[in-house]
Copies of this chain bind each other. A is one copy, B any other.
């Protein structure tokens, strides 16, 4: 069984940087949770760079350890976990081809009985992931994000990083009235995005609402909305304020602190997770590495949840 390579003894700068310094597995066979990267940013609307996200997250993930300081969960004792590498993209200039490759790869993870925890890449990657995890039964969706990402098209392309959840809804792989979008903010060139979310039954918790309600109330509402429905969680790092996550392509000021984000994610423990992702970490804009550190630490929080779900579900 893969286990993390004795990180108490090994200094954190040592070794080939896999996710959490876990063993590298060729496939998801035999795993409870599979960590993987999707180095694709061909669908961004502004600054590129998230193609380097998986490497940046792998590197900083060395700073996480094994036992959660609040829950005392050790995911590596609970579950069999490995880094299965990156989705081997072979058509990087072709958004549809890329989406197909991602869907097939995640499909294989699901078929192997493992829960996928993916590191982006831009947010467009969540659409093919959702197609794979929601193939048999549409899933509930918790989206922590500055943008609703329910745009129709941009520059003629239905597959861009502003559109994944519109596409997922059209494909029938998410349940719109079990979809909650938390942290939404920033000006737009039309009301289309917000209107689409609302008219299809998605719940938008604008950033200002989240602050006013308090994180506890957001957690409670989310848990109530989702219940025990199979649920996917997508964390766009731009949900965080740029002070906490400067390294992203479309930053919006006025966002979450990491303390709030950790609390929010932690409060969702015990839901029936089918997978999760952390996307939009862009190392070229992250000169001090704090965005990748935030992303990697959030991946550890999510990994604790997935390990519990995978082994008790």
A interface residues (Cβ-Cβ under 8 A, vs B): 7-18, 24, 39, 41-43, 45-49, 51-52, 55, 58-59, 63-70, 72, 83, 85-86, 88-95, 97, 155-157, 159-160, 184-191, 194, 206-208, 211, 241-244, 246-247, 250-255, 257-259, 262-263, 284-290, 293-294, 297, 300
Contact = CB atoms under 8 A, between A and B. Distances in A.
A17 B58 CA distance: 10
Contacts of A189: 7-8, 65-67
**Copies of this chain, count:** 6
A205 to B, nearest CB: 13
A34 to B, nearest CB: 14
Contact of A187 (B9, B69, B284): B69
Interface centre among A68, A72, A88, A159 (most CB of B within 10 A): A88
A11 B24 contact: no
10 contacts: A15-B86, A42-B42, A65-B189, A67-B187, A67-B189, A93-B160, A241-B257, A243-B290, A251-B290, A253-B293
Contacts of A66: 187-189
Contact of A90 (B18, B41, B92, B155): B155
A52 B45 CA distance: 13
Nearest to A4: B189
Contact of A243 (B155, B159, B208, B243): B243
B52 A288 contact: no
